[in-house]
Amino acid sequence: AQTVTQSQPEMSVQEAETVTLSCTYDTSESDYYLFWYKQPPSRQMILVIRQEAYKQQNATENRFSVNFQKAAKSFSLKISDSQLGDAAMYFCAWCNFNKFYFGSGTKLNVKP
């Protein structure tokens, strides 16, 4: 079975600083997709960014970017210029054509 590991249960960052959340995954497949989801206290899951495994270029969405290392099976999320509204649980996720797996999440605290 595929596994998604987020080794950092909780992290803190100062407002306006940069933080990187780690994610590794285990798969024998070559074609898959990776995601980062944000879950604020409101509980609603929000897609932050996605990456297709066949693309070498790292995905970016405004202040959010990923460092995708396919050989190392690593998919980290970098948040630049952190804002108070970034405080949330962040989930890394992996999927192929019929399965979707989430990591255990990293709680991000943003300090003013």
- Select from 15-23, 56-64, 65-73, 102-110 the region that touches another protein (CB under 8 A): 102-110
- In the complex, the smallest distance separating the C-beta of residue 97 from another protein, rounded to whole angstroms, is 4
- Binding of another protein by 8 (CB under 8 A): no
End-to-end CA distance of the chain: 41
Residue 22 lies near another protein (rule: CB under 8 A): no
DSSP 24: E
Query: Hunting for tokens 């605290």 — which residue is that?
Result: 109
Q: Is the dihedral of CA 29, 93, 12, 111 positive or negative?
A: positive
Question: What one-character DSSP code corresponds to residue 110?
Answer: E
Q: By CB under 8 A, is residue 33 in contact with another protein? A: yes
Out of 28, 30, 56, 98, which residue is the one contacting another protein (CB under 8 A)? Answer: 98
By CB under 8 A, residue 103 contacts another protein? yes
Query: What's the rounded Cα separation, in Å, for the pair 27 and 62?
Result: 29
Contacts (CB under 8 A) with another protein, residues 72-91: 91
- SS3 state of residue 51: strand
42 contributes a contact to another protein by CB under 8 A? yes
Residues engaged in binding another protein (CB under 8 A): 33, 42-47, 50, 52, 91, 93, 95-105
